[in-house]
Amino acid sequence: MSNKNKRPLIGVIVGLDREKKLITQQSNLIIESGYGKKAIQATKKLIKRKVDVVLSLGFAGSIDTNLKNSEVIIPKIIFNKRSKGSQTSKKFNFYFKKILNDFSFFE
């Protein structure tokens, strides 16, 4: 972001088209849907639109029953499709938390 007063452009990936309707439309949100391999194409679309960050919503609850609905998870490691893990930076985690602070996706 070049302008400090400008809100970050956030790309959101949801699994299903009907999930897009649940997210409050905001001028700094670009929402795409895609599940599985289609999520890769949706992410590429967002990157071409030069978003500041990409959020993937909707699947974490299925991997841990202790997670609550609407809980945000910030990963320390991101895995690619070949199961190779890459650590996220502390700078990334700080930036991500800053973007999401006081941000509401749902009405």
Q: Which pTM does this prediction carry?
A: 0.65
- Residue that the structure tokens 């895995």 belong to: 79
State the chain's mean pLDDT as an integer. Answer: 80
**Which residues of the chain have a pLDDT value below 70?**
1-5, 59-62, 70, 102-107
8 Å CB contact between 20 and 14: yes
Tell me what pLDDT residue 50 has: 94
- Output the pLDDT for position 102: 60
Q: Which residues contact 27 (CB under 8 A, 6 or more apart)?
A: 7
Q: In the Cβ-directed half-sphere of 27, how many Cα atoms lie within 13 Å?
A: 2
